[in-house]
């Protein structure tokens, strides 16, 4: 929304939730918790006249009808900070559900250096703050309540390491006639998963969270020449796929030890090996069912 412009949208308005509290957003609301590894997290000081004015929280606002929380959070952030949606990458989201009203915090990171500025009357100031210093600010009460859990997940990603041969071989759809084509098809479907995100509850994680995963597809044999895409990393096993998967998990854990790393495979021996490396396990059916839904 431009400075001093107050065009009313269909999501604007207050809702009294089932707990008797008054919240902004007829269809719920969303905020963007944006992280820059060099500068910290972006906080917004709300204008004095707004709901809970002069407190610090996140850029965000009411969802419009038919809008996803990610769309709302990035749209509002762009309207309030001039940071465009294409400059940020979503990592996870957390929902606080009040029954007939919910608030979604979208955790994201910058794709490159961004320049922020106050662009409408709802903000008084924007500031990058080191995560450990956030509690020193006079925070919006709901953001203050949510911050400890948000802080715990800050910068952590869900990484899916996919045993390509094992997953492709789960369904008897003729994959053996063109193993490389089947692996490329799986890669392309995984790209859709990266864009759409996954519910935590379906992937043995906290049901209040959803994730836009990082995907590493491990291929072998006749599928070794499958190329990576912007959304899906591809590891071509020089020998056996199992060893390449173990090595990939080991490297991921060493590089980013706080990430959630899950290996998708039904191979019992491989499951034991990657569990020792600190990864969790998902069955191919869990992944394929989510791909079907996407």
Question: pLDDT tens, 47-78?
Answer: 877 767 789 999 998 889 889 999 999 999 99
Question: pLDDT tens, 107-133?
Answer: 999 999 999 999 988 889 999 999 999
Phi and psi based region of residue 131 (left: phi greater than 0; alpha: psi -120 to 50; beta: remaining): alpha
Q: Which helix (H) or strand (E) holds 234?
A: strand 232-236
pLDDT for res 7: 63
At 157, is the pLDDT very low, low, confident or very high (cuts 50, 70, 90)?
A: very high
pLDDT beyond 60 at 41: yes
Please give the average per-residue pLDDT across 195-214, as a whole number: 90
pLDDT for res 51: 67
At 3, is the pLDDT very low, low, confident or very high (cuts 50, 70, 90)?
A: very low
Of residues 6 and 147, the one with the higher pLDDT is 147
Q: What is the three-class DSSP state of 146?
A: helix
Tally of CA atoms within 13 A in the half-sphere of 167 that contains its CB = 32
pLDDT beyond 90 at 89: yes
- Tokens at residue 56, please? 């610090």
- Tokens at residue 69, please? 């929380």
pLDDT beyond 50 at 1: no
Q: Minimum mean pLDDT among 9-18, 149-158, 194-203, 278-287: which range?
A: 9-18
pTM here is: 0.87
Sign of CA dihedral 189, 193, 199, 203: positive
Please give the average per-residue pLDDT across 157-170, as a whole number: 96
């Amino acid at each position: 929304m431009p400075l001093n412009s107050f065009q009313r949208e269909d999501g604007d308005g207050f809702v009294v939730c089932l707990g008797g509290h008054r919240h902004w957003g007829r269809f719920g609301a969303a905020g963007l918790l944006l992280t820059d590894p060099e500068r910290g997290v972006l906080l917004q000081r709300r204008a004095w006249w707004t709901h809970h004015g002069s407190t610090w929280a996140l850029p965000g606002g009411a969802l419009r009808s038919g809008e996803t929380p990610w769309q709302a959070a990035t749209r509002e952030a762009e309207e309030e900070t001039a940071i465009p949606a294409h400059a940020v990458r979503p990592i996870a989201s957390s929902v606080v559900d009040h029954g007939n009203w919910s608030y979604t915090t979208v955790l994201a990171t910058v794709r490159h250096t961004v320049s922020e500025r106050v662009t409408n009357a709802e903000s008084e100031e924007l500031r990058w703050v080191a995560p450990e210093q956030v509690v020193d600010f006079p925070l919006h009460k709901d953001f203050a309540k949510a911050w400890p859990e948000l802080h715990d997940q800050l910068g952590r990603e869900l990484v899916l390491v996919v045993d390509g041969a094992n997953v492709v071989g789960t369904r008897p759809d003729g994959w053996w006639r063109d193993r490389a084509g089947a692996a490329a098809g799986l890669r392309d479907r995984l790209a859709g998963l990266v864009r759409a995100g996954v519910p935590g509850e379906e992937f043995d994680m906290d049901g209040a969270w959803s994730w836009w995963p990082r995907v590493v597809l491990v291929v072998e044999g006749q599928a070794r020449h499958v190329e990576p895409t912007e959304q899906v990393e591809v590891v071509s096993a020089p020998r056996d796929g199992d060893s390449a998967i173990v090595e990939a998990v080991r490297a991921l854990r060493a590089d980013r030890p706080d990430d959630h790393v899950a290996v998708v495979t039904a191979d019992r021996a491989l499951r034991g090996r990657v569990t020792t490396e600190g990864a969790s396990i998902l069955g191919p059916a869990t992944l394929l069912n989510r791909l079907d839904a996407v």
